[in-house]
């Protein structure tokens, strides 16, 4: 049995992927991880700004790359019936461009996913961030039966806030978060299932190609069912 088939059987999260045209979200194996780590090391943002609550993206290329490795190695195992953290490689034309995360806590109670993401600088500002978020939402709502999706960004993160608005999330207030020793406002965004259903046609148009999901049935069997119909 090929290694990937055995892994998919033992760890179904590894077989989950979603794709539309030239853009794919898929499991971060060690080979892709090294590319992503090096990509992050080459820079995710200007040194004057900090999009993340924990400033993991500061430091030398090697320091940043190693943090990507250790973070991803640590988070891979976080799948249980009640909570999961799925981190996907974003592949554009097959090239690793960044990471799209999808996490859930108290999943059987809340049915809520939260997203987080980054792209290497060379891949930013070309619409990939918008499309990868749409793919993540498709996976969450259509694939996993989520009831709600949330996201957030510091008020000074123009592109991330623009992506959430463009994808159709509703603003859900703002709160202060400590960022490098300063209290900075952080916007919250929410997408209800009803809203996503009303927007899915727009998302399909924006994605511009049929959406293909894989491995969702096997993964869904390892987590609890959602409260969607409660």
Ligand X SMILES: CC(C)(COP(=O)(O)OP(=O)(O)OC[C@H]1O[C@@H](n2cnc3c(N)ncnc32)[C@H](O)[C@@H]1OP(=O)(O)O)[C@@H](O)C(=O)NCCC(=O)NCCS
Among 88, 107, 118, 196, binds ligand X (CB under 6 A): 118
Residue closer to ligand X, measured from CB, 130 or 225: 130
Task: Please say whether the dihedral angle defined by the alpha carbons of residues 68, 173, 130 and 160, taken in this order, is positive or negative.
Answer: negative
179: left (phi over 0), alpha (psi -120 to 50) or beta: beta
123: left (phi over 0), alpha (psi -120 to 50) or beta: alpha
Distance in Å, CB of 198 to ligand X, minimum: 19
d(CA 21, CA 68) in angstroms, rounded, equals 27
Q: What is the DSSP letter of 163?
A: H
Among 14, 72, 160, 187, binds ligand X (CB under 6 A): 160
- Which residues from 74-113 bind ligand X, rule CB under 6 A? 98
**Distance in angstroms between the alpha carbons of the first and the last residue of the chain:** 41
Using CB under 6 A as the binding rule, whether residue 45 contacts ligand X is answered as yes
Residue 165 tokens read as 């608005």
Rounded to whole angstroms, what are the CA distances from 7 to 1, 25, 46, 60?
10, 18, 38, 34
Q: How many residues bind ligand X (CB under 6 A)?
A: 22
x/- map, 172-211, ligand X, by CB under 6 A:
----------------------------------------
Using CB under 6 A as the binding rule, whether residue 225 contacts ligand X is answered as no
Using CB under 6 A as the binding rule, whether residue 23 contacts ligand X is answered as no
Using CB under 6 A as the binding rule, whether residue 125 contacts ligand X is answered as yes
At which residue do the structure tokens 């969450």 appear? 140
Among 12, 41, 101, 129, binds ligand X (CB under 6 A): 129
* Binding-site ranges for ligand X (CB under 6 A): 44-45, 51, 98, 117-119, 124-130, 153, 157-160, 162-163, 166
């Amino acid at each position: 049995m090929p290694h990937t088939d055995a892994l998919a059987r033992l760890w179904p999260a590894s077989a989950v992927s979603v794709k539309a045209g030239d853009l794919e979200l898929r499991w971060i194996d060690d080979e892709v991880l090294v590319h992503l780590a090096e990509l992050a090391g080459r820079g995710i943002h200007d040194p004057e700004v900090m999009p993340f609550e924990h400033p993991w993206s500061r430091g030398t290329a090697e320091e940043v790359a190693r943090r990507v490795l250790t973070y991803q190695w640590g988070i891979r195992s976080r799948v249980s019936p009640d909570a999961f953290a799925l981190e996907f490689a974003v592949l554009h034309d097959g090239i690793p461009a960044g990471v799209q995360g999808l996490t859930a806590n108290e999943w059987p109670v809340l049915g809520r996913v939260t997203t987080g993401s980054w792209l290497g600088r060379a891949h930013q500002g070309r619409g990939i961030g918008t499309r990868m978020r749409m793919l993540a939402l498709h996976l969450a709502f259509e694939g996993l039966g989520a009831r709600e999706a949330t996201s957030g960004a510091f008020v000074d993160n123009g592109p991330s806030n623009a992506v959430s608005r463009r994808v159709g999330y509703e603003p859900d207030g703002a709160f202060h978060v400590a960022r490098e020793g300063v209290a900075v406002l952080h916007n919250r965004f929410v997408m209800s299932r009803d809203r996503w259903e009303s927007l899915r046609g727009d998302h399909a148009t924006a994605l511009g190609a049929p959406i293909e999901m894989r491995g969702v049935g096997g993964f869904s069997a390892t987590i609890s069912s959602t409260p969607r119909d409660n």
